[in-house]
């Protein structure tokens, strides 16, 4: 029996979307002609498209944007200026607007996404304000504060969208398509990469994800969706002016996304509808309703962290079922190979200084292909710094790192992963917003992995890795629901699914109880002898003794011993480094 | 030259306003890692409290100010309880959004209670200002500059020379460690909110005679103040002051010598420039990725 | 202010709300109207409701229209353009309004114009952008003088009465300010004058020193202005005086509105303003002002008078037409000649403009004194 997963199906969601298209077109044409309902729906639908952009950038990728109204405005102005001044057709003008929004989004992203949250908030606010000033003051191009009126609606061959109903139908069909695309994005490779970045940037980087590029793409996509909505808005209302795309509107769009639930396009859709209809319910409040609205925003944040959609899902959530079916074993396990004589990793004179502190002070080291190499040393000896430099999280002050014949000293973390270097973290870094399976899939689909291009194979590989660590039965669960020890196994499975040449384990026994430590030892033994090189850092001498072929000892950033386990562990300097304490006691320290 | 000096004086005056509001921002960033988007509304609420004391209750000026400052301190605690406390374990973004919600709430509740027409407040001094050579110095701008200086000195004294200040610093650096040392972390954070609200309120009261009192008075000032914060160095106290002054001067000069309608763009353009070239700001520490 | 100013969308949707009614009855003739109940112009919205209430009382006291009582149904526009569109379309979908009143804001009128065309019923509005009645939309009628006339009156008064030639124009870069500035420049050039300085600014400024210094350097003998928000006007006025510019100042109507007078105080003493409504300008205006003060303990301004006149003209037109058929009402409005309203004497032209003149008033120590009325026939 082979595994057949919904997430791997190519046409997933298409039948529903086609049904939805037919339904919305019918609804659009059944509305009372010209008037309030048409206008309010036109507004809700075009806004909802822009809000789904926030789902991508904020919900999936975790980056805040307070400029969605600006991108919405760029789309609208593209259509308005293109059609009124340059006499383009609606669709080419729309494309211009979307292009402008996307381009500016990418440029803005390139400039600011290396910085964190509040900076991005401020940059997007600045962009929003500057755009408003330009729309208002650049009379020759934007028509200034008067805005642009008389924006025509399109005709496509024999179909005319000039009537209110037909145009609304166009808007709604676009919304259905956008919602489908955004929904499918979430369970696709790019969407998983975005969520990985959101949940843990460092871990995402070491899983082969180009964090910066992923953020820029998310930001650009979000801007494009803003532009799509804005273009339709211009056609829908046939009049636009700068004040419709102000900072305040951006806040409104953001609130819509958060209210509905920023994790899903259905959530943002609900949020948009509610915030457009809510004032109807609040009509008795008259002048205070904006105050009530402000208070409602706070209450939503406090009581509805996942928005209305999250609340609904909680009510109706079906128990996810374990994923059954046999999958091929990890390819690693069908190989055999003892430690060889050639070196897979060579480190020369590696140094890392933090100000005056020499965390690593000229370390040289070589790891034989297929061996299990342990790196030990007391607290503060520089072990963690060492692994962070090797995986590219820290830039070395001096020295050279050669991996599989390639100098990777100045290569970013995701490139190192793609070259075959996978790692786990001392303080566990799993992607908390995702399931166990999805976590491991992120590892399996690193660019360059043999299965990466085929979604079905990715699932199989991830399940195989989970089989290996014994977590197959938990594949469907939220990773946060697992015990600490099992989360560590998820990290190991994630690393193994990427078919690495070398696995770096950063204190894998830290925080585990005795039983778990024992299991870990067994797991490492099962990994041995298949040609995979393992570099393990730990305090736990028992574990290290069990599995290591070779041990290097660090102290105060220097290498103090290197060689076969029993030689090294009896080395007087090593004993001295552990302050003369018995080895068991040293091993228990963490 | 006379024109340049006049612009410089005005720029510094405006800059001092930004600096005062920015100071309130910095404290919350340091103590609670909170970016408070309602900081401008603190200024607005403070100014309205003064209007009520002065114009409605008819109390003397300084007494009115004192009462308003005390009320702001209480207000700060309530604000913290509503927008920060329930969300404190959920990271930065939810708090940002809830303070945005609070800013909408505050503007509109004041609009509802007080009505939309702007109010006038008299300045601290009867004289509109003094003529020094060819430069006219508005007395209220002078008051703002003096008050900003005094508050910075006071803040320095509190933070560096008192036990309270040490506790506050410890809290802002490492909450877990501070709490292990027996520092009441929660109280320290509430105190910071309270103090920040007082600062915001004082800023509002001082600018009221210049900008009038309206529900919208705080919004744009706060955005500029936040920009000042980043230009000066995120979370740096001297950075907030210098960033504010620099922004005020740059904006005024930019308006005079480049373009008036694009005046508000200068602040934000300057901010974008800093983020591109020197994201750590004038006084900030170099931003590095954490492993 | 940024958060709520003009924009909050929910604001737009409150268009759906607010069933305020000024006359109740089983069988009334309804006129729909949009007004800023919320948002930054909420105060103006209050004035409008006052004016409408007074108009309805007068109309219904004199027998109503076609034997029925007249009712004004208002929807909030939240002071935003989308709000105006939603508010107006909501009024239209009620289906029971025979005519409508629009906004005093030109961009809002622009925004609802396509829907007005579709609704095909008369809409009275107060926006002063001259272009609004030039687009061939047959359903728009203006009960205020348009900006061509405000600019023409400012130019005429400054050049012919005050005898000034070195002009400075300060204007907001929003729709209202830019439109006014363009008209003023055009009218001055007809009188052979090129301004020595034309300076725009963005709304909601904290400081006007750069502008004032530019004015000072230009060394004008008269300052003219189109300010939108009173806060800006107040700050500019105070700094202008502080930095020693004392030349005459002729401003657009905002310079004499109550809020501006309150904010700027002494700094506006001695300035000239133009007003579409002045209590002393005509017996109708005086009567309205007296009644308004008596009822609301506040001074009336043009925020309420344009609507008051609009409703009276509509009632008059429906009675003349003896029908609520939109075409008939339209014809009756266009036929209005010599109708004495609070804002002046209405003579509608075929485009839908009713007024062609302004009052010039002077601020004498904080009191607004009627100076002269300048009216044109073309």
pLDDT in tens, chain C (378 residues): 333 333 333 333 333 334 444 444 458 999 999 998 877 677 788 899 999 999 999 999 999 999 999 999 998 887 778 788 888 988 988 889 999 999 998 889 988 998 899 899 999 999 888 888 988 899 999 999 988 888 999 999 999 999 999 999 999 988 788 888 999 999 999 999 999 999 999 888 888 999 999 999 999 999 999 998 888 999 999 999 988 899 999 998 888 888 888 888 889 999 999 988 888 889 999 999 999 999 999 888 888 999 999 999 999 999 999 999 999 999 999 999 999 999 999 999 999 999 998 999 999 998 889 998 898 887
Which residue matches tokens 């919350």? B28
Partner C contacted by B221 (CB < 8 A): yes
The confidence score (pLDDT) of residue A281 equals 62
- C-alpha C267/C-alpha C265 separation (Å) is 6
The confidence score (pLDDT) of residue C15 equals 37
What token pair was written down for A116? 């964190």
Q: Where are the beta strands (DSSP E) in B6-147?
A: 129-132, 135-138
Query: Are A286 and C89 within 8 A, CB to CB?
Result: no
Between strands A558-563 and A550-555, the pairing is antiparallel
- C-alpha A163/C-alpha A140 separation (Å) is 30
Same domain membership, residue C312 and residue C185: no
- C-alpha B66/C-alpha A511 separation (Å) is 54
Q: Does residue C252 form part of some domain?
A: yes
Q: Are A199 and A73 in contact (CB under 8 A)?
A: no
Cα–chain-centroid distance for residue A393? 18
Q: Are C294 and C89 in contact (CB under 8 A)?
A: no
B213 bridge partner residues: B119
A65 secondary structure, DSSP code: -
Q: Are A45 and A200 in contact (CB under 8 A)?
A: no
Measured between CA atoms, the residue of chain A closest to residue B34 is A118
Q: Does residue C129 form part of some domain?
A: yes
Domains along the sequence of chain A with CATH: 11-316 (1.10.3470), 335-420+501-588 (3.40.50.300), 430-499 (no CATH)
Nearest-CA distance A192 → chain B (Å): 21
Cross-chain CB nearest to A125 (options B98, B109, B223): B223
pTM of the model: 0.81
Q: Which of B36, B100, B110, B221 is most worth mutating to test chain A (most A CB atoms within 10 A of its CB)?
A: B100
Same domain membership, residue C194 and residue C128: no
Q: What is the CATH classification number for the domain harbouring C198?
A: 3.40.50.2300
Res B285 pLDDT > 60 = no
- C-alpha A191/C-alpha A211 separation (Å) is 12
Q: Does residue C354 form part of some domain?
A: no
Cross-chain CB nearest to C42 (options B10, B111, B255): B111
Query: Are A297 and B100 within 8 A, CB to CB?
Result: yes
Which residue matches tokens 């001044």? A85
Same domain membership, residue C371 and residue C236: yes
Measured between CA atoms, the residue of chain B closest to residue A285 is B112
Give backbone dihedrals phi and psi of C125, rounded to 5 degrees, phi first: -140, 170
CA angle, B130 then B131 then B132, to 5°: 110
Query: Are B216 and C202 within 8 A, CB to CB?
Result: no
Partner B contacted by A291 (CB < 8 A): yes
Q: What is the pLDDT of residues B34-64, one digit of tens each?
A: 888 899 999 999 999 999 999 888 889 889 9
Same domain membership, residue C260 and residue C187: yes
C251 bridge partner residues: C225, C273
Nearest to residue B90, comparing CAs of A296, A295, A429, A305? A305
More confident residue, B234 or A400: A400
pLDDT-based confidence at A284, cuts 50/70/90? low
Query: Are A290 and C107 within 8 A, CB to CB?
Result: no
The confidence score (pLDDT) of residue B229 equals 86
Q: Are A486 and A509 in contact (CB under 8 A)?
A: no
Mean pLDDT of A484-497: 91
Mean pLDDT of A229-243: 90
Same domain membership, residue C370 and residue C271: yes
Q: Which chains touch C (3 or more CB pairs under 8 A)?
A: A, B
**B residues 166..195 contacting A (CB < 8 A):** none
Q: What is the pLDDT of residues A93-116, one digit of tens each?
A: 999 999 999 999 998 888 777 776
C336 secondary structure, DSSP code: -
Give contacts of A246 with chain C, Cβ < 8 Å.
2, 5-7
Partner B contacted by C263 (CB < 8 A): yes
Query: Are B98 and A258 within 8 A, CB to CB?
Result: no
What token pair was written down for B128? 């509109």
Q: Are B18 and B224 in contact (CB under 8 A)?
A: yes
Question: Among A124-138, A209-223, B240-254, where is mean pLDDT lowest?
Answer: A124-138
Query: Are B94 and A301 within 8 A, CB to CB?
Result: yes
Same domain membership, residue C235 and residue C91: no
What token pair was written down for B37? 């988007």
Please spell the DSSP secondary structure of A469-504, one letter per residue: HT-GGGTTSBGGGS-HHHHHHHHHHHHHHT--SEEE
pLDDT-based confidence at A214, cuts 50/70/90? very high
Domain boundaries, chain B: 2-217
The confidence score (pLDDT) of residue C228 equals 86
Q: Does residue C1 form part of some domain?
A: no
Question: Among B119-133, B224-238, C240-254, where is mean pLDDT lowest?
Answer: B119-133
Domain that holds residue C309: 9-145+282-347
Cross-chain CB nearest to B103 (options C3, C202, C209): C3
Nearest to residue A532, comparing CAs of A384, A365, A332, A389? A332
Partner A contacted by C113 (CB < 8 A): yes
Partner A contacted by C205 (CB < 8 A): no
Give contacts of A147 with chain C, Cβ < 8 Å.
81, 107, 110-111, 175
Which residue matches tokens 């700060």? B76
Which residue matches tokens 């320095």? B156
Give contacts of A290 with chain B, Cβ < 8 Å.
104, 107-108, 111
Query: Are A290 and B35 within 8 A, CB to CB?
Result: no
Partner C contacted by B211 (CB < 8 A): yes
Query: Are B223 and A129 within 8 A, CB to CB?
Result: yes
Res A476 pLDDT > 90 = no
Query: Are B35 and A118 within 8 A, CB to CB?
Result: yes
Query: Are C111 and A237 within 8 A, CB to CB?
Result: yes
Long-range contacts of the stretch C186-190 (C-beta < 8 A, 24+): C186/C151, C187/C148, C187/C151, C187/C152, C187/C154, C187/C155, C187/C156, C188/C155, C188/C159, C190/C155
Please report, for residues A478, C80, C115, the alpha-carbon distance to residue C108 in angstroms, rounded to integers and kept in the order given: 51, 7, 12
Percent of chain B at pLDDT exceeding 70: 97
A536 bridge partner residues: A374, A505
The helix/strand/coil state of A90 is helix
Please spell the DSSP secondary structure of A400-435, one letter per residue: EEEETTEE-TT--HHHHHHTTEEE--SS----TTSB
Query: Are A293 and B272 within 8 A, CB to CB?
Result: no
Give contacts of C210 with chain B, Cβ < 8 Å.
7, 252, 255-256, 260, 263
- C-alpha A540/C-alpha A152 separation (Å) is 73
Nearest to residue A331, comparing CAs of A533, A530, A535? A530
Partner A contacted by C33 (CB < 8 A): no
Cross-chain CB nearest to B10 (options C204, C209, C231): C209
- C-alpha B73/C-alpha B75 separation (Å) is 5
Cross-chain CB nearest to B226 (options A122, A300, A302): A122
Cross-chain CB nearest to A294 (options B101, B269, B272): B101
Between strands C272-275 and C357-364, the pairing is antiparallel
Which residue matches tokens 């200084």? A353
Partner B contacted by C326 (CB < 8 A): no
Same domain membership, residue C260 and residue C137: no
Nearest-CA distance A94 → chain C (Å): 21
Mean pLDDT of A272-300: 74
Determine the number of helices (DSSP H) and then strands (DSSP E) in chain B. Answer: 11, 2
Look at chain C and report how many structural domains it folds into. Answer: 2
Same domain membership, residue C255 and residue C365: yes
Q: Does residue C254 form part of some domain?
A: yes
Please report, for residues C38, C64, C100, the alpha-carbon distance to residue C23 in angstroms, rounded to integers and kept in the order given: 22, 11, 16
Task: Please report which residue ranges of chain C form alpha helices under DSSP H.
Answer: 9-13, 42-61, 81-94, 106-119, 147-156, 175-190, 209-218, 230-242, 258-264, 283-296, 302-321, 326-334
Measured between CA atoms, the residue of chain C closest to residue B218 is C1
Q: What is the pLDDT of residues A117-143, one digit of tens each?
A: 667 877 888 889 889 888 988 878 888
pLDDT-based confidence at A535, cuts 50/70/90? very high
- C-alpha C321/C-alpha B44 separation (Å) is 53
Mean pLDDT of B177-187: 82
The confidence score (pLDDT) of residue A292 equals 81
Q: Does residue C353 form part of some domain?
A: no
Sign of CA dihedral A399, A403, A405, A407: negative
**C residues 186..205 contacting B (CB < 8 A):** 199-202, 204-205
Question: Among A347-356, A517-526, C36-45, C104-113, where is mean pLDDT lowest?
Answer: C36-45
């Amino acid at each position: 029996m082979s595994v057949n997963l919904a997430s791997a199906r190519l046409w997933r969601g298409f039948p529903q979307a086609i049904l939805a298209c037919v339904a919305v077109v019918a609804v659009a044409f059944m509305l009372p002609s010209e008037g309030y309902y048409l206008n309010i729906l036109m507004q809700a639908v075009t806004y909802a498209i822009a809000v789904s952009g926030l789902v991508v950038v904020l919900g999936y990728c975790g980056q805040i944007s307070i400029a969605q109204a600006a991108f919405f405005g760029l789309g609208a102005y593209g259509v308005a200026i293109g059609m009124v001044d340059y006499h383009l057709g609606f669709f080419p003008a729309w494309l211009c607007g979307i292009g402008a929004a996307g381009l500016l989004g990418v440029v803005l992203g390139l400039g600011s996404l290396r910085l964190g949250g509040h900076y991005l908030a401020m940059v997007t606010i600045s962009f929003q304000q500057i755009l408003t000033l330009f729309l208002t003051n650049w009379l020759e191009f934007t028509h200034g504060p008067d805005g642009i009126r008389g924006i025509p609606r399109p005709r496509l061959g024999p179909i005319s969208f000039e009537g209110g109903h037909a145009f609304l139908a166009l808007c709604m069909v676009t919304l259905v398509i956008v919602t489908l695309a955004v929904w499918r994005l979430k369970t696709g490779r790019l969407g998983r990469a975005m969520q990985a970045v959101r949940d843990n940037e460092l871990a995402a980087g070491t899983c082969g994800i180009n964090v910066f590029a992923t953020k820029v793409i998310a930001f650009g996509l979000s801007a494009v969706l803003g532009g799509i909505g804005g273009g339709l808005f211009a056609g829908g209302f046939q009049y636009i002016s700068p004040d419709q795309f102000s900072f305040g509107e951006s806040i409104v769009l953001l609130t819509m996304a958060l209210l509905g639930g920023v994790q899903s396009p259905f959530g943002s859709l609900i949020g948009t509808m509610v915030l457009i209809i809510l004032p109807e319910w609040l009509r008795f409040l008259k002048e205070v309703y904006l105050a009530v609205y402000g208070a409602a925003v706070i209450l939503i944040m406090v009581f509805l962290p996942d928005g209305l959609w999250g609340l609904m899902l909680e009510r109706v959530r079906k128990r996810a079922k374990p994923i059954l079916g046999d999958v091929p074993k990890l390819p690693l396990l069908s190989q055999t190979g003892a430690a060889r004589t050639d070196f897979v990793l060579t480190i020369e004179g590696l140094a890392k200084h933090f100000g005056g502190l020499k965390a690593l002070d000229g370390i040289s080291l070589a790891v034989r292909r297929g061996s299990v190499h342990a790196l030990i040393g007391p607290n503060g000896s520089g072990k963690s710094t060492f692994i962070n430099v090797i995986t590219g999280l820290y830039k070395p002050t001096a020295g050279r790192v050669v991996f599989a014949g390639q100098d990777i000293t100045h290569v970013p973390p995701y490139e190192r992963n793609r070259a075959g270097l996978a790692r786990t973290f001392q303080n566990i870094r799993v992607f908390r917003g995702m399931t166990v399976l999805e976590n491991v899939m992120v590892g399996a689909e690193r660019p360059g992995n043999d299965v990466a291009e085929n979604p079905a194979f990715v699932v199989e590989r991830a399940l195989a890795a989970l089989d290996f660590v014994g977590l197959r039965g938990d594949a469907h669960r939220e990773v946060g629901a697992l015990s600490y020890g099992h989360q560590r196994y998820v990290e190991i499975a994630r690393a193994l699914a990427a078919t690495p040449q070398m696995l770096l384990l950063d204190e894998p026994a830290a925080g585990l109880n005795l039983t778990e430590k024992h299991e870990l030892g067994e797991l490492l033994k099962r990994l041995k002898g298949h040609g995979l090189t393992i570099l393990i850092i730990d305090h736990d001498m028992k574990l290290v003794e069990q599995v290591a072929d070779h041990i290097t000892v660090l102290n105060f950033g220097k290498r103090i011993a290197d060689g076969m386990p029993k030689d090294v562990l009896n080395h007087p300097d090593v004993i001295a480094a552990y302050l003369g304490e018995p080895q068991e006691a040293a091993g228990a320290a963490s | 030259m006379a024109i340049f000096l006049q612009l410089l004086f005005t720029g510094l005056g405006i800059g001092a306003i930004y600096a005062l509001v920015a100071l309130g921002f910095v404290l919350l960033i340091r103590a609670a890692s909170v970016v408070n988007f309602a900081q401008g509304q603190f200024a607005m609420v403070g100014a309205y409290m003064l209007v009520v004391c002065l114009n409605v209750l008819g109390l003397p000026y300084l007494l009115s100010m004192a009462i308003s400052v005390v009320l702001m301190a209480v207000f700060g605690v309530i604000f913290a309880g509503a927008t920060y406390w329930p969300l404190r374990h959920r990271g930065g973004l939810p708090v940002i959004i809830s303070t945005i919600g609070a800013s909408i709430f505050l503007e509109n509740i004041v609009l509802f209670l007080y009505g939309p027409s702007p109010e006038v407040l008299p300045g601290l001094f009867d004289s509109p200002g003094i003529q020094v050579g060819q430069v006219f110095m508005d007395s209220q701008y002078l008051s703002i500059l003096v008050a900003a200086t005094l508050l910075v000195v006071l803040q320095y004294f509190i933070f560096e020379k008192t036990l309270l200040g040490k506790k506050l610093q410890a809290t802002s650096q490492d909450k877990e460690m501070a709490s292990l040392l027996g520092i009441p972390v929660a109280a320290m954070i509430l105190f910071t909110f309270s103090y920040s609200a007082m600062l915001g309120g004082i800023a509002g009261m001082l600018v009221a005679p210049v900008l009038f009192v309206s529900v919208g008075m705080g919004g744009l000032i706060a955005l500029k103040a936040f920009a000042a914060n980043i230009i000066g160095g995120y979370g740096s106290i001297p950075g907030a002051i210098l960033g504010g002054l620099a922004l005020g001067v740059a904006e005024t000069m930019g308006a005079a010598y480049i373009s008036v309608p694009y005046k508000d763009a200068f602040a934000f353009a300057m901010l974008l420039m800093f983020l591109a070239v020197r994201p750590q700001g004038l006084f900030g520490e170099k931003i590095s990725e954490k492993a | 202010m940024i958060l709520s100013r003009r924009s909050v969308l929910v604001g737009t949707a409150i268009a759906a709300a607010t069933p305020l009614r000024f006359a109740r009855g089983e069988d009334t003739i309804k006129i729909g109207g949009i007004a800023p109940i919320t948002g930054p112009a909420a105060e103006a919205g209050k004035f409008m409701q006052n004016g409408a209430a007074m108009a309805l009382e007068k109309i219904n006291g004199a027998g109503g229209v076609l034997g029925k009582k007249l009712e004004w149904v208002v929807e909030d526009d939240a002071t935003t353009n989308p709000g105006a569109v939603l508010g107006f379309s909501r009024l239209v979908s009620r289906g029971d309004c025979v005519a409508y009143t629009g906004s005093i804001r030109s961009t809002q009128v622009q925004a609802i114009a396509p829907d007005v065309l579709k609704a095909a019923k008369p809409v009275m509005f107060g926006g002063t952008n001259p272009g609004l009645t030039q687009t061939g939309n047959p359903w728009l009628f203006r009960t205020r003088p348009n900006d061509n006339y405000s600019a023409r009156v400012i130019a005429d008064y400054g050049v012919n009465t005050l005898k000034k030639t070195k002009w400075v124009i300060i204007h907001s870069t929003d729709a209202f300010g830019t439109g006014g500035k363009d008209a003023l420049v055009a009218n001055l050039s007809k009188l052979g004058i090129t301004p020595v300085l034309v300076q725009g600014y963005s709304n909601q400024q904290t400081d006007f020193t750069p502008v004032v210094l530019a004015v000072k350097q230009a060394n004008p003998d008269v300052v003219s202005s189109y300010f939108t928000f009173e806060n800006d006007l107040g700050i500019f006025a105070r700094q202008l005086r502080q930095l020693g510019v004392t030349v005459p100042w002729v401003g657009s109507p905002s310079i004499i509105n109550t809020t501006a007078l309150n904010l700027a105080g002494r700094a506006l003493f001695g300035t000239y303003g133009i007003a579409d409504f002045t209590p002393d300008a005509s017996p109708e205006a005086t009567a309205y002002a007296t009644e308004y003060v008596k009822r609301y303990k506040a001074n009336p301004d043009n925020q309420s008078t344009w609507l008051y006149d609009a409703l009276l003209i509509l009632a008059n037109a429906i009675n003349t037409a003896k029908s609520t058929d939109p075409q008939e009402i339209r014809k009756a409005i266009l036929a209005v000649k010599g109708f004495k309203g609070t804002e002046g004497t209405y003579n509608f032209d075929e485009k839908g403009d009713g007024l062609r003149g302004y009052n010039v008033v002077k601020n004498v120590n904080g009191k607004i004194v009627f100076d002269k009325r300048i009216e044109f026939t073309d």
